[in-house]
Amino acid sequence: MAPLWTAWIRIPCNTNTPPRNSLQALICIIVYGGVCVYLFDTMRTFQWLALGSVVGSAFALTPEKLITAPRRDNAVPNRSGKVALFSTAQYSFDTHSSSSAWWSLIDLKSGKVSQLTNDSNVSELTWLGPTDSSLLYINGTNADVPGGVELWIADSSDFTNSRYKAASLPASFSGLKTAVTKSGDINFLVYGQSYGNGTAYNEELAVTPLSSARIYDSIYVRHWDSWLSTNFNAVFSGTLKKKGSKSGSHYALDGSLKNLVAGTKNLESPYPPFGDSGDYDISPNGKWVAFKSKAPELPRANHTASYIYLVPHDGSKKAEAINGPDSPGTPKDVKGDSSAPAFSPDSKKLAYFQMTDISYEADRRTLYVYTLGSEKTIATLARDWDRSPDAVKWNAKGNSLILGTEDHGREKLFTLPADAGDDYKPKNFTDGGSVKGFYNLPGGEVLVTGSAIWTSWAVYTASPEKGVIDTLFSANEVDPGLKGLGPDDFDEFTYKGNWTDIHSWIIYPTGFDKSKTYPLLFYIHGGPQSAWTDSWSSRWNYKVWADQGYVVVAPNPTGSSGYGDKLTDAIQNNWGSYPYDDLVKGWEYVRDNFDFIDTDNGVAAGASYGGFMVNWIQGNPLGREFKALVSHDGTFVADSKVATEELWFIEHDFNGTFWANRDNYRRWDPSAPEHILQFDTPMLLVHSSKDYRLPVSDGLALFNILQERGVPSRLLNFPDENHWVLKQENSLVWHQQVLGWINRYSGVGKKNPDAVSLDDTTVPVVDFNP
Ligand SMILES: *[C@@H]1O[C@H](CO)[C@@H](O)[C@H](O)[C@H]1NC(C)=O
Ligand SMILES: *[C@@H]1O[C@H](CO)[C@@H](O)[C@H](O)[C@H]1NC(C)=O
Ligand SMILES: *[C@@H]1O[C@H](CO)[C@@H](O)[C@H](O)[C@H]1NC(C)=O
Ligand SMILES: *[C@@H]1O[C@H](CO)[C@@H](O)[C@H](O)[C@H]1NC(C)=O
Ligand SMILES: *[C@@H]1O[C@H](CO)[C@@H](O)[C@H](O)[C@H]1NC(C)=O
Ligand SMILES: *[C@@H]1O[C@H](CO)[C@@H](O)[C@H](O)[C@H]1NC(C)=O
Ligand SMILES: *[C@@H]1O[C@H](CO)[C@@H](O)[C@H](O)[C@H]1NC(C)=O
Ligand SMILES: *[C@@H]1O[C@H](CO)[C@@H](O)[C@H](O)[C@H]1NC(C)=O
Ligand SMILES: *[C@@H]1O[C@H](CO)[C@@H](O)[C@H](O)[C@H]1NC(C)=O
């Protein structure tokens, strides 16, 4: 089905895309003969007719649709670039369970998707190139070792009948990476937990201690949502060798796994909680492994320093830091967090990022290239570039690199030559949306997986020369729950902030009509060194909020990333000054410039630093401009900030220690009496018990005050969630409460009978008010 009018079909009449309205359907059918295409699939045709008949009625991205929409991972092409592999998982409120991830191939010419397997024992399907269409995967069931896994090999052309077991691994490993050696062996890496002695930790076989006590002699006793133990993450290496006759040869594990990390005290890789296989890499010739670990000679709680280690794949030598304090090539004064090691195609070079500051987690990342062998030199690339890239890959020739970086509210791809000098400005070759993953294709193109405000998953091709070339898949055109979303759903504007121009997103509700008015939803991001980007999120999804009947305004004030160091760094020691004033000016700009936004009935919401800011706004004049506030996991009592485990964070952001610089901590204290006395706006607090960075006590403290001061308020707590509410049933309650809260006070609840209401709660509300 690739007729002459492909180009036309792509736009208004894609077989996957229902025409937006009946007029469009008519045009498609009459002008482009699309009727033939449509009639191939009567079911779809029926859906389109149905859609055509409800033109103008409000489509809405509801919390249920968001939570149950398919969640897909990056599309990874095979070597010939003919197909790409990706996984999908989906939650159902009918069965109250998630499907296991299923695996599909997308044809890179036609965009056609076909299922490879939905066997829940299959995870981490990986192309095994370079010679064939074979795949390696982790099988979650081990026939011999409870709690272990197995490695299996299969051919994509006949997945079920071709598969065989290649290795039995003694613990629950993941993070598969492979390289084929000159002799045809498969060298692989996985990671898992390690005992102190280097043996892989298998939870199912571990002896449960009699007491639950934990004892610590050093700080950093817990992080994110778990308490530290004597176990740690480690990268393990292994080799699959070809055995047997030519016709019936199979790969099988040769020897046992080697722990590449445990040889040096205090190393850990990948680094929890967010570290994954991106924290390590295997050289294409299979000989070398690079991994990231936090600096072993420094306390973990008050430094961000980390180094890249290099170790032979066979573990014959101890891992050595290439950019540690004693490494010969370490660039002068560069001491911060290292990340994203990536070997060049010829295995002779290693690209990675490093921040300069030893304890600033949001410092700018600079690109470095280390030369292996006797040289051990480190070159700095595009040193003066005022962006902080977080993803890097070499092109196939190894003469240039591709970077993923936040830029002006998007995550874009940039390219630069491998010998770029200090003043080289890398050039972007994508623009809208946010790139999540990218892989080389033959011929110099890359296959990109990304998202945008209006689509949860898009796969497209791009190249440094041509920019974006062709879109193969976009979830909004396929997933029933996302139907109707499109690039017209949002816009952007810039206004004069406190000391510089501030960029902001503006997101419209479905069926938006400029001549009507919609209450303002003022969205305040966390970090604070982060940004609202043109991307999809299953938490704080702009469209879900907008579709209740709001216009969402999401500004990137002082502290935001992706606009250069100056804007990001200016928030240090200034949590409540410039950013607050940027927000005030943003709110005034909205009031004065957008007739369709009703600021009289507006509401504001934020999480993390955004939660702090909402707490600060509650006790300051801007708070009086909102009908309701939502504060998720924010800090409240200035003096309790020291209860976090991330001391590097507070000691950077408040510019000193808790004892020597207490005034810095107290300067913007939402719990100061003069601010408490201003509290007056109905406020919903969300604070979960497993948030160890911003402990739940701050939410409890604020709730005490709001209630004693008689401010309408509600506390929503999840005992089993961390800084994020991830479990689908919890996420549904979160949305129900958060949206119900703002809808009650903004008037949206009265105007829109379909809007989420607090009365719909399925969780009993505890209320002992007399
Ligand atoms: C797996 O896919 C097959 C074929 O599409 C389908 O019949 C089966 O129900 C699926 N199983 C699960 C567990 O999703
Ligand atoms: C995984 O494999 C084991 C062993 O064959 C089997 O018992 C189990 O049912 C499999 N799980 C699924 C979901 O197929
Ligand atoms: C890539 O996939 C295509 C289609 O399945 C297959 O014909 C080809 O052999 C694969 N190539 C590699 C190198 O895996
Ligand atoms: C997974 O491993 C189990 C145990 O060896 C085996 O029975 C099962 O068939 C395997 N399944 C897949 C999909 O590889
Ligand atoms: C390493 O320590 C674990 C836990 O104490 C123990 O079970 C295992 O046998 C030890 N491994 C070796 C090689 O001593
Ligand atoms: C970091 O913590 C260690 C103790 O864990 C302490 O010795 C050191 O002085 C601290 N560094 C700073 C900058 O406070
Ligand atoms: C690069 O980004 C700019 C905006 O900064 C945009 O106008 C341009 O289209 C982008 N280039 C490509 C090739 O996408
Ligand atoms: C910028 O913010 C600071 C701190 O809140 C304030 O003192 C100053 O007046 C603001 N400047 C302008 C131009 O509004
Ligand atoms: C941080 O403290 C240092 C030393 O006291 C001082 O020089 C610097 O100006 C401070 N920075 C900020 C942003 O307050």
Q: What percent of the chain has pLDDT over 70?
A: 91
Tell how far the Cα of 577 is from the centroid of ligand 8, in angstroms: 7
Dist CA 670 CA 613 (whole Å): 9
Q: What kind and span of H or E run contains 103?
A: strand 102-107
Nearest Cα residue to 139 out of 193, 113, 103: 103
Ligand closest in space to the Cα of 425: 7
* Whether residue 431 has its Cβ less than 6 Å from ligand 7: yes
| Per-residue pLDDT at 120 exceeds 60 | yes
Tell how far the Cα of 151 is from the centroid of ligand 4, in angstroms: 9
Beta strands per DSSP E along 581-669? 597-607, 628-632
CB atoms within 10 A of CB 376: 15
Instruction: Sheet with 320-321: list strands edge to edge.
Output: 280-282, 288-294, 306-312, 320-321
pLDDT, position 247: 58
Dihedral, CA of residue 155, residue 158, residue 161 and residue 167, to nearest 10: 20
Identify how many contiguous H helices and E strands the chain contains and give both numbers.
Answer: 16, 41
Q: What kind and span of H or E run contains 320?
A: strand 320-321
Helices 22-32 and 42-53 pack at an angle, to 10 degrees, of 130
- Residue whose token pair is 């009908």: 627
| Per-residue pLDDT at 329 exceeds 60 | yes
266: left (phi over 0), alpha (psi -120 to 50) or beta: left
| Per-residue pLDDT at 3 exceeds 50 | no
Tell how far the Cα of 244 is from the centroid of ligand 5, in angstroms: 34
Ligand closest in space to the Cα of 408: 7
Which residue among 98, 99, 102, 141 is best mutated to probe the pocket of ligand 2, counting the most ligand atoms within 8 A of its Cβ? 141
Dist CA 443 CA 720 (whole Å): 48
Tell how far the Cα of 204 is from the centroid of ligand 5, in angstroms: 15
The residue ranking higher by pLDDT, 76 or 55, is 76
Helices 609-618 and 578-593 pack at an angle, to 10 degrees, of 70
Tell how far the Cα of 126 is from the centroid of ligand 1, in angstroms: 21
Q: What is the largest CA-CA distance in the chain?
A: 83
Tell how far the Cα of 213 is from the centroid of ligand 6, in angstroms: 26
Backbone φ and ψ for 157, nearest 5 degrees, come out as -75, -25
Dist CA 252 CA 274 (whole Å): 31
Read off the pLDDT band of 11 (50, 70, 90): very low
Task: From the CA of 303, give the closest atom in ligand 6.
Answer: 1
Task: From the CA of 467, give the closest atom in ligand 7.
Answer: 13
- Identify the three-state secondary structure at position 61: coil
Which residue among 558, 573, 577, 668 is best mutated to probe the pocket of ligand 8, counting the most ligand atoms within 8 A of its Cβ? 577
Tell how far the Cα of 674 is from the centroid of ligand 5, in angstroms: 58
Read off the pLDDT band of 2 (50, 70, 90): very low
Q: Is 608 a catalytic residue?
A: yes
Read off the pLDDT band of 33 (50, 70, 90): very low
The tokens for 571 are 């928030």
| Per-residue pLDDT at 390 exceeds 80 | yes
| Per-residue pLDDT at 42 exceeds 50 | no
Ligand 5: residues whose CB is within 6 Å?
Answer: 195, 197, 199
Tell how far the Cα of 141 is from the centroid of ligand 2, in angstroms: 7
Q: What is the sign of the dihedral through the CA atoms of 259, 265, 266 and 267?
A: negative
Dist CA 305 CA 354 (whole Å): 9
Which residue among 116, 118, 120, 122 is best mutated to probe the pocket of ligand 1, counting the most ligand atoms within 8 A of its Cβ? 118
Ligand closest in space to the Cα of 492: 7
Task: From the CA of 407, give the closest atom in ligand 7.
Answer: 5
Dist CA 521 CA 628 (whole Å): 10
pLDDT (tens digit per residue) in 438-470 = 999 999 999 999 999 999 999 999 999 999 999
493: CB partners within 8 A, 6+ apart = 503, 504, 506, 589, 593
Q: Whose CA is nearest to atom 4 of ligand 2?
A: 141
- Residue whose token pair is 């249920």: 64
Contact between residue 723 and residue 694 where contact means Cβ atoms under 8 Å apart: yes
Backbone φ and ψ for 650, nearest 5 degrees, come out as -70, -35
Strand partners, 468: 462
* Whether residue 680 has its Cβ less than 6 Å from ligand 8: no
Contact between residue 341 and residue 318 where contact means Cβ atoms under 8 Å apart: no
Contact between residue 631 and residue 611 where contact means Cβ atoms under 8 Å apart: yes
The tokens for 180 are 């084929």
Q: Is 94 a catalytic residue?
A: no
511: left (phi over 0), alpha (psi -120 to 50) or beta: left
Beta strands per DSSP E along 548-673? 551-556, 597-607, 628-632
Contact between residue 113 and residue 84 where contact means Cβ atoms under 8 Å apart: no
Tell how far the Cα of 648 is from the centroid of ligand 6, in angstroms: 10
Apex CA 140: angle with CA 136 and CA 144, to 5°?
105
The tokens for 51 are 């859609």
The mean-pLDDT minimum among 99-103, 428-432, 588-592, 722-726 falls in 99-103
pLDDT, position 132: 66
pLDDT (tens digit per residue) in 643-679 = 999 999 999 999 999 999 999 999 999 999 999 999 9
Nearest Cα residue to 569 out of 655, 664, 495: 655
Dist CA 303 CA 586 (whole Å): 35
Task: From the CA of 142, give the closest atom in ligand 4.
Answer: 4
Average pLDDT score over the chain: 91
Q: What is the sign of the dihedral through the CA atoms of 214, 218, 224 and 229?
A: negative
Which residue among 193, 199, 229, 230 is best mutated to probe the pocket of ligand 5, counting the most ligand atoms within 8 A of its Cβ? 199
Q: How far is CA 165 from the centre of its chain?
A: 33
pLDDT, position 133: 84
Q: Whose CA is nearest to atom 9 of ligand 3?
A: 133
CB atoms within 10 A of CB 707: 14
The answer to whether the predicted template modeling score (pTM) of the entire model surpasses 0.85 is yes
pLDDT, position 28: 38
Dist CA 253 CA 271 (whole Å): 27
Apex CA 91: angle with CA 409 and CA 726, to 5°?
55
Contact between residue 415 and residue 427 where contact means Cβ atoms under 8 Å apart: yes
CA dist 510 → 377, 440, 481, 519, 706 (Å): 55, 37, 13, 14, 35
CB atoms within 10 A of CB 375: 12
- Identify the three-state secondary structure at position 89: strand
Contact between residue 53 and residue 23 where contact means Cβ atoms under 8 Å apart: no
Contact between residue 577 and residue 554 where contact means Cβ atoms under 8 Å apart: no
Across the range 604-611, mean pLDDT stands at 98
Extract long-range pairs of 703-706: CB within 8 Å, 24+ residues apart: 705/671, 705/676, 705/679, 706/679
The tokens for 170 are 């003694």
Read off the pLDDT band of 131 (50, 70, 90): low
| Structural Rg of the chain based on CA atoms | 27
The tokens for 691 are 């948030």
Q: Whose CA is nearest to atom 9 of ligand 8?
A: 498
Backbone φ and ψ for 48, nearest 5 degrees, come out as -65, -40
First to last CA, the chain: 69
| Per-residue pLDDT at 510 exceeds 60 | yes
Q: Is 276 a catalytic residue?
A: no
Q: Whose CA is nearest to atom 11 of ligand 2?
A: 121
CA dist 395 → 287, 417, 440 (Å): 20, 10, 7
Task: From the CA of 118, give the closest atom in ligand 1.
Answer: 1
Question: In 697-727, which residue ranges form alpha helices assigned H by DSSP?
Answer: 697-708
Q: Whose CA is nearest to atom 6 of ligand 9?
A: 655
* Whether residue 139 has its Cβ less than 6 Å from ligand 4: yes
Choose, from 283, 359, 608, 671, the residue flagged as catalytic. Answer: 608
Ligand closest in space to the Cα of 165: 4
Choose, from 534, 669, 691, 698, the residue flagged as catalytic. Answer: 691
| Per-residue pLDDT at 10 exceeds 90 | no
Read off the pLDDT band of 337 (50, 70, 90): very high
Apex CA 233: angle with CA 227 and CA 235, to 5°?
175
Q: Whose CA is nearest to atom 3 of ligand 4?
A: 141
pLDDT (tens digit per residue) in 207-259 = 999 999 999 999 999 999 999 999 999 999 999 998 876 656 799 999 999 99
pLDDT (tens digit per residue) in 741-753 = 999 999 999 998 8
CB atoms within 10 A of CB 201: 21
Ligand 2: residues whose CB is within 6 Å?
Answer: 119-121, 141
Strand partners, 683: 629, 713
The residue ranking higher by pLDDT, 23 or 227, is 227
Dist CA 746 CA 545 (whole Å): 13
The tokens for 533 are 């980007």
Task: From the CA of 585, give the closest atom in ligand 8.
Answer: 14
Dist CA 360 CA 336 (whole Å): 7
pLDDT, position 210: 97
140: left (phi over 0), alpha (psi -120 to 50) or beta: alpha
Q: Pairing relation of β-strands 467-474 and 455-463?
A: antiparallel
pLDDT, position 35: 34
Beta strands per DSSP E along 464-542? 467-474, 490-496, 501-507, 518-524
Question: In 99-209, which residue ranges form alpha helices assigned H by DSSP?
Answer: 159-162
